[in-house]
Structure formats: structure tokens, C-alpha cells
Structure 1
Amino acid sequence: MDKIKTQLQQTSQATHSERRGRLISLSALSLIVLVVIAIFWFVATKGLATFFENHVDFWSFLSGKTWDPGVKNASGQPLFGALPMIVGSFLITVLAALVATPFAIGTAVFMNEIEPRHGAKIIQPVTELLVGIPSVVYGFIGLSVVVPLVRNTFGGSGFGILSGTVVLFIMILPTVTSMTADALKSVPRYYREASLALGATRWQTIYKVVLRAATPGILTAVVFGMARAFGEALAVQMVVGNAALLPQNLVSPSSTLTSVLTQGIGNTVMGSLQNNALWSLALVLLVMSLVFNLVIRLIGRKGALR
């Protein structure tokens, strides 16, 4: 009897395994949190050094139109104007999202609502394949095909906002399409059946019921695609022209935050004013990525409450 009582009071092997699994999960989660905090801390300390150590005016940094680290203005402030890069990044991102969204929604509707059998066999594998293509390949295609096409059609050098928009449109289209398709799949089947039972046509059901029910998921897909487009570096750098100037039109050479960072970060000395200014650009990029993630979470939360 005492032996049975002792066995019952001992911790079972399953409990030990559960505790080990919980400890491993907690350790992995803590490591991820520490890495994220370390990244934010490192970029923030480097980026804010431009304003607290080098005494660069914050508003002049954000609103200045000239990026020339080797020159100072009349008040002795270096010409670190990040406005051209910020405008270029937002312009390319918004245009790429505006162009990609109708194509993504149309493809997702075809895959899920019109021809789900062919969509699952043909379109979905092709979309997944496009997601895995490296960005440098998109950049080379843009450099070899898009830039000459823009130059021959609209004039100029071919490098600029338009070329960057086309390349980013192709890059984010598979991502937005896949997430939109998942949003459409999440719409309950009885929504469609109820709509058809009330006499609605298939197109009325798709437009009035399915798309409206999937709106939060579609918006999440669009914002997620914009976040990827905003942070893309190599492909955009190869086609945008890399001129730190405010874009005058869609075919004039411009630059983005990522293109200036990739070009200049390896040519500066750590701790110098020029290097700190580039880290300030990285901080702006990181903050904007955080804003995109917060918007995605906000949209997802509103969608869950509906």
C-alpha cells in the first residue's frame, strides 16, 4: 500500500516532459524577445546619436531636400535632408500596392470562387514559386527588361519611380495574392449558400458577401505587401536611379531609404557623422516597419471583432 501511495505522489514522466517542453518554449520566446529588443536598442542608439551627439536638427533632417554629407549650410549644419528618400520610399510603396491590389484580388477570386480546381493545381503553385524567387533576380529582370522598356516608352534614362513601382509590383503580387486567397477561404461556406438561396447570382455573392466578409484579411494582405515593399533594398536599388533628389515625375531618377543605406553604409566609418546619419535613416525605416505591423494587428483585431 505504501509503495502504491509513493508511486502516486511521484511526478509522472509525462509531467516531466511537459515541464521540459514548457521551459524550452519559454526559453525560445525569451530569446526572440531579447533579440528584437537588442535590434531596436542598437538601431535607436546609433540613429539618435545624430541628434544628441552630433547636434543635427531633427526637423531639418526629416524635411531637408538635400543629402550631401560633405557640405554644411550657412548655419553650420550638415546637409542631411532625408525627405527625398522618405518621399521616394512612400511613393514607390503606395503605387506598387495600388497596382498590385486589383490583380491580387482578381487572381484570388479566380482561384477560390470561379475555378478552384484549376486554381489549386496551376495558379497556386506558380504563386508560391514567385514568392521564393530572390530579390536580386527581380532586380536583374527589372534592369534588363523594365528599365529599357520605360526608357523607350516614356523617355529619360529609364531609372526612376516607375521602374521601381513595376519591380515591386511583381515582387509583392504573390504575397498579397496568397494572403488574399487565405482570407477568401476563411469566409464560411454558409455565407455563400445563404446568399445563393436568397436569389443572388454568383457574381453578386462574390462582390456583396464574400469580398465584404474578407475585407479585413484583404486589407491585412495589402498592408503586409506594403511593409515588404517599403523594406525592399536590392531590387529597388538596381532600377530606381539612386539620386537623392525629390522625384519630379515618375521617370526621373530617385532614391529610397533602403537604396541610400545599402550604398553608403559600407563606405563610412563607424561612429562618424556620416555613419550616424545613415543609422538615422535605418531608424526611420525601422519605425515605419513597426507602424505597418501595428496597422496589420489593428486590422486583424477589428476583423476578429466583426
Structure 2
Amino acid sequence: MNHKRNMFQKEYFWHGLVTIGGCFMIVLTLAIGIFLVYKGSASFTTYDHKITEFLFSSKWNPADNSTGGGNIGAAIYIFGSISTCALALLIATPFSIAAAIFMTEIAPKVGMHVFQPAVEIFVGIPSVVYGWIGLTVLVPAIKNIFHLTYGFSVLAAGIVLAVMIFPTITSVTADAIRSVPIQFRQASYGLGATRWQMIRTVVLPSAKSGIYTGIILGLARAFGEALAVAMVIGKTRAFPKNILSSTNNLTASIASDMGGAMEGGEYNSALWSMALLLFLISLLFIFIIHFISSKEEKKLNGKN
């Protein structure tokens, strides 16, 4: 009797602890969101700037005082973030999917014991290391190869980000491929398909929900990266003419300017508006992931 009572007590204790932890994370996320809305909306409520000016204007000259009067057009930073992240995704996605296929379908034993641990090592490397290697190796290489005055560019930032998001996309994609039932593969082989035909027509379509999730998670990380990008992008306040041009992005601008902006001033509020935009973009990515997952779940339930 006492043994059963102790088991119930332990069960309720851990159940309560997990519930408290989950509620804490929800409250913390809401608190961060409310705080960012409060700080970031000051540009539009206190200093009377328009959202269209912030999103589409390239005139960035906020006044570092509490009276305002400057310009907070962040279009250059927004375009810089979009261009570098899009390039990183374009570079990383094919390599990530190919690596995941190799790990799971081509050489699963080698992939499990050698390749996957090597990929996971990349996750633990600090972003400053990526940035430093990009600054000392990649930037001079781009300068010499393309005969440029400087090697700081969208291309350098895109390559650094591609290396950083490669482990995320690869790991999630590999898990999605492993989750495809073995019966699907056996049925494909039974119909006379080759291994590549089985991968292309059965495994990848069945795992597409997880693959999309991995790509979106990688994109979310790319949007949130600051230090490594700041070290190789050039931090030029101009729209890039091509991928060999330097520019700036949202995270690099926030990281470099927030410490010197007057608290409560127009400049400080504009930077908080950038942070709020990044938070909203992150929420958008999360909603997209949930939408894809729920759509796939409905499809599976419909088949069952």
C-alpha cells in the first residue's frame, strides 16, 4: 500500500514539475513578445513613424534623442537579411538533403556512427568561430578569386550561414527519412524499383513534411544569426548590386548599434522595432511548421 502511495506521489510530483516547466516557457515567451511589442512599437506610437516607412524606405537616420525627427527606413537591412538567408538556403539545402540520404539510405552504418556525429559537431561550434574563419579565410579568398577591392559581401555571408544551418537541415531531414516505414521501401523494391527510384519516388515524398520543417528551422536560425554575419557582410548601408557587393542586415545592425543608442530615444526605439520584426518572422516560421505538420497529419488520418 505504501509502495503504491509513493508511486502515485512521485507520479504527481513529476507531472506537476513538467506542467510548471511548460507553463513557465509559455509565460516567458508571452513576456518576451509583450516586451518587444512595447519597446518596438514606440517608433510608431511615440515618434509617429509609419510602418510603411520602416519596411519600405531606405532612409535610415534616426535621431539619437528623445524628440525624434529622423528617418527609420530599414529596407536595406531587411533586404540584406532576406538576400543572405535566401542564398544560404540555396547553398545548404541540396547538400543537406544529399547528406541525409547518404546517412540513412546509402550507408546507414557509416552515417550513424561516423557522419552523423561529425555533422552534430558543427552544432556545438560557437558562431564567432564561423565568423572568424570566414573573415580570415573566406573573405580574402573571395577578394582574390573575383579581383575585388574587398571580399566582404553577400556571398561571404551566405556561405558562412550555409555552413551554420547545414547541421540543422541535415539532422531533421535524416530523422524524417528514417521515420518512413520500412514497408514502403519493401513495396517499392517488390515492384522492381531501383534504390534511387525508391528514394526519389517513395522516401523523399513521404518525408517531405519533415524536410520542409528542417529547411524552415534552418532559415529561422539564419535570420537570427548576428555575430558571424556581421564579421563578413561588410556592414555597408546600401542595397547590394549583386552577391559580391557588401550590405548590412537586421541582426548585425542591432548587435553593433544597440549598445551606443540612448535609452528611450528614437534610435533605440528603431532598433527595438527591428528586434520586434525578427520576433514576428520567427513566429511566422513556427506557424508555417505547425501548418505543414497539421496538414500532413490530416492527410495521414484521411488515408487511415
- Mapped to 2, the partners of 1:23 and 1:115 lie a distance apart of 43
Whole-Å separation in 1 of the counterparts to 2:22 and 2:172: 25
User: Using the alignment, how far apart are the partners of 2:190 and 2:95 within structure 1?
Assistant: 29
Counterpart of 2:302 in structure 1 is none
After TM superposition, list the pairs within 5 Å mapping 1:244-263 onto structure 2.
244-263=237-256
The answer to whether 1:117 aligns with 2:109 is: yes
SS at match of 2:264: coil
Q: Name the % identity.
A: 42
Query: One-letter code of the match for 1:125?
Result: P
* Offset of residue 107 of structure 1: 0.8
1:34 and 1:209 map into 2 onto residues whose CA distance is 42
Q: Which ranges in structure 2 are unaligned for 5 or more consecutive residues?
A: 300-304
Task: Flag structure 1 segments of 5+ consecutive residues without an equivalent.
Answer: 1-6
Q: Residues 24-39 of structure 1: matches in 2 within 5 Å?
A: 24-39=17-32
Letter in 2 for 1:157: Y
State the TM-score, normalizing by the size of structure 1.
0.92
Q: Report how far residue 90 of structure 1 moved.
A: 0.9
Whether the 8 Å contact between 1:183 and 1:217 is mirrored in structure 2 is: yes
2:202 pairs with 1:199: no
Once the two structures are TM-superposed, the CA of residue 70 in structure 1 deviates from its matched residue by: 4.0
Secondary structure of 2:245's aligned partner: coil
For residues 59-118 of structure 1, the C-alpha deviation after alignment (integer angstroms, 9 at most, x for no partner) is 1111111212249xxxx9522110011111011111111111110111111111111111
CA contact 1:156–1:252 (8 Å) conserved in 2: no
Any idea what SS the aligned residue of 2:61 has?
Answer: strand
Aligned residue runs from structure 1 range 70-89, under 5 A: 70=63, 77-89=69-81
Q: State the match for 1:106 in structure 2.
A: 98
Decide which of 77, 92, 96 is 2:84's aligned counterpart: 92
CA shift digits 1:268-303 (9 cap, x unpaired) = 121111101100000011100111111111112222
Runs of 4+ residues over 3 Å off in structure 1: none
Q: Deviation of residue 12 (structure 1)?
A: 2.9
Distance in 2, Cα, partners of 1:67 & 1:15? 61
Partner Cα separation in structure 2 for residue 297 and residue 244 of structure 1: 36
Question: Retained in 2: the 8 A contact 1:56–1:78?
Answer: no
| 1:66 lines up with 2:28 in the alignment | no
Write out per-residue CA displacement over residues 250-284 of structure 1, whole angstroms, 9 at most, x where no aligned residue: 11110110000001000012111110110000001
Q: Which has the larger radius of gyration?
A: 1
Query: Equivalences for 1:195-274 in 2 at 5 Å?
Result: 195-274=188-267
Count, aligned residues: 294
1:149 aligns with 2:137: no
